[in-house]
Amino acid sequence: MKKSPQTILFVVSGALFLLGALVLVWWTKNFHAWKLREHLQIISPLFLEITFLLVIVATLLNLRVFKRVFAGITRGSWYAVGGITVIGLLIIIFVVPRDHRIYYDEDIYQSIGQNIACLKSSDAHSGEDYEQSFSNVWKRFIGRAAMCNEGRNEYGEFHCDRLEYNKEPNGWPYLLSVVFRLFGVHERAAFLTNNLLYGLAIVTVFLIGYLLFESALPGVYAALIFALTPEFMMWANTTAVEPSAALFPGLALLSALIFVRSRENTALWLLAVMTAFAVQFRPESIMLLMVIGLVVLFWGSYTLRRGEFYLLLAIFFILMIPHLVHLYSFKDAGWGSSGPKFSTEYFKGNFKVNALFYLKNIRFPLLFTVLFGLGIVLKAGKGDRVPTTFHLRAKLVLLSWFLLFWGIFIFFYAGSYNYGADVRFSLLSAMPLALLAGYGAVSLEYVFRHRLKFTYLSYVLPVIIAFSFLPFLPFVRAITQEAWGARADHRFAKEMANVLPDDAVVLTHNPNMFLLWGKNAAQASLPTEQKNAFKRFFYRYKGGIYFHYNFWCNVPDKLQNSFCTNILERYDCTPVLSFKEQNYTFELYKVEKKKRTEKEIGGTKKPSLND
């Protein structure tokens, strides 16, 4: 009997699922966590490269689908969103300071991006000899997804001698590697990338609002509210991961909505590969699958009976395998906490802080919170001839999205928005909040127009929203005292890098930033932990060895302080540059072998013929 195409698709899907599951189980059960990380240095960026290429191809194949799905958007709405996007970009480029806000994570992301973009597998070592047969397969294809602890920039080529795999997923570093390959390795490229992602996020919010509520107006309001979210504007002018970790789940949800509206298999392909890429920016990004699942259940349940859905689900699963192994390899990692990473004991304190964040009108406009609440409880219509509707399913999707990405941090040990720079986690729930607030604005406008007979609110409300943001301009313009020591360290290190000879090497706790600036750098721990390897530096680097007395030499950390003390005590260190910020000292020393004193020379035993 001839099998139907659907039967064949189900069989192929099942085979791919089984194969992927066997690979996943075999891989995680036969290798220790450190070995898995060695594998992932190459496999993770390779799969991200494949996934990203599939996203580009799927996007191009869906251009006609996009045109059909968004055909109802008027030229006026496009102009409005374009204007909002341009104004938002002008504010973050010319008003918001371009600075790092999370130290030293942003340097690490860029270092990993640099390694993926520039480092060939045969150049790298991780403390163990890696299997050359495996490494040589991708020798000229893609670099390693790891930060560099000892590296060289020689004649325009980058080499890394010591790598360390990072606990954070590699989506953002991979994206930076694409930018670095296209435009060169420098910090400005990373900053501009986040600027552009912010602009793309505004348009994404608008398109999601249009498809969810079947009207452009909620999308326009949502885009305006999202664009004027103070914390998002501030972090969009950094090189942190959170802006991209907020955007790509939005793009995945948009892909899901395009699929359920168009019912095209090409759109289903875009959904599969976009989601596989979107979940690899932060560990909690995988919760996006629950939101996507709701969209499919609410509007695309018919596809659950078709083989194409399961085939692309199987492909999604295979593309996800390296990321799942990544999460598995760090399941027992401390993440900077000696206690549990997630616990109900953190709930009370984090809930109070993170809820008041939206109510105090200090770091987030209270008006946006009010509109968010109205968006949950009110209903709206699209015009006089269209009956009002509550849009229950659309609201459930947005509420699930918001509660998952806001609520997860309530149970996290560092999840308080008042804990250091962890207010950046609020960016991950900014899109659903803005979308519900946009719907709340339309609902409020509808109530005033039809019940109170006030027809001018549609002209007044956007102005009120814009003016509610104006008091926050000094806030977004400020560089606060938070992380002052690390910020000063980064600023002074850049001045030190300018005086370093090209053929010199600097010892520092953060080689990533010096390597990104085109210098040679190694970990300050090297002279303490690997003395013989360090001795070779005196012959390798003709421009000399330098020591960066940095942030970690000032903070009360005995282990990190010992690395600084050992260099200063065991070698002759001559000051070259010195800076001071409050009670912290930042210095650059020239390091040379310790000269023996006359007493030491005189006390040396003379060699005899019997020696």
DSSP element (H, E) containing 521: strand 520-523
Q: What is the pLDDT of residue 336?
A: 64
pTM exceeds 0.85: yes
Q: Across the strands, what pairs with 148?
A: 163
Q: What is the pLDDT of residue 385?
A: 41
Q: What is the pLDDT of residue 379?
A: 86
Closest-CA residue to 367 (of 234, 232, 217, 467): 467
Chain centroid to CA 133: 32
Q: What is the pLDDT of residue 309?
A: 95
Q: What is the pLDDT of residues 196-237, one digit of tens each?
A: 999 999 999 999 999 999 999 999 999 999 999 999 999 999
Q: What is the DSSP string of 403-469?
A: HHHHHGGGGBTT--TTSTTGGGGGGGGHHHHHHHHHHHHHHHHHHHHHTS----HHHHHHHHHHHHH
| Residue pair 147/512 in contact by the 8 Å Cβ criterion | yes
Helix (H, G, I), strand (E, B) or coil at 167: coil
Chain centroid to CA 422: 13
Q: What is the pLDDT of residue 411?
A: 94
| Residue pair 215/382 in contact by the 8 Å Cβ criterion | yes
| Residue pair 513/496 in contact by the 8 Å Cβ criterion | no
Q: What is the pLDDT of residue 51?
A: 98
Q: Across the strands, what pairs with 581?
A: 584
Burial class (CB in 10 A: 0-12, 13-18, 19+), 187: middle
Q: What number of helices (H) and strands (E) belong to the chain?
A: 28, 7
Q: HEC string of 17-44?
A: HHHHHHHHHHHHHHCCHHHHHHHHHHHH
| Residue pair 79/142 in contact by the 8 Å Cβ criterion | no
**Residue that has been written with the tokens 């008006």 in this structure:** 367
Long-range CB pairs of 489-493 (<8 Å, 24+ gap) are 489/103, 489/550, 489/551, 489/584, 489/586, 490/100, 490/103, 490/104, 490/107, 492/577, 492/579, 492/581, 492/586, 493/548, 493/550, 493/586
How, if at all, do strands 545-549 and 505-508 pair? parallel
DSSP element (H, E) containing 190: helix 187-213
Cα–Cα distance, 117 to 133 (Å, whole number)? 21
Split the chain (611 residues) into runs of 10 and give each run's mean pLDDT.
Answer: 79 95 96 95 96 98 97 96 98 95 93 88 47 45 86 89 94 97 94 98 98 95 98 96 98 98 95 98 96 96 92 96 96 74 92 96 97 93 58 96 96 90 95 97 88 79 96 92 90 95 95 95 95 92 96 95 95 95 96 71 45 41
Q: What is the pLDDT of residue 147?
A: 94
Cα–Cα distance, 228 to 402 (Å, whole number)? 18
Across 539-557, b (16+ Cβ under 10 Å) vs e yields eebeebbbbbbbbbbbeee
Q: What is the dihedral of CA 415, 418, 420, 424, to 10 degrees?
A: 60
| Residue pair 553/564 in contact by the 8 Å Cβ criterion | yes
Q: What is the pLDDT of residue 131?
A: 43
DSSP element (H, E) containing 506: strand 505-508
What does residue 570 show for φ and ψ, rounded to 5 degrees? -90, -15
DSSP element (H, E) containing 505: strand 505-508
Cα dihedral 523, 525, 529, 535 sign = positive
Query: Where are the extended beta strands (E) located within 134-292?
Result: 147-154, 157-164
Q: What is the pLDDT of residues 287-332, one digit of tens each?
A: 999 999 999 999 999 999 999 999 999 999 999 999 999 999 998 8
Helix (H, G, I), strand (E, B) or coil at 203: helix
Inter-helix orientation angle 33-61/307-329, to 10°? 150
Q: What is the pLDDT of residue 603?
A: 52
Q: What is the pLDDT of residue 18?
A: 97
Q: Across the strands, what pairs with 586?
A: 579
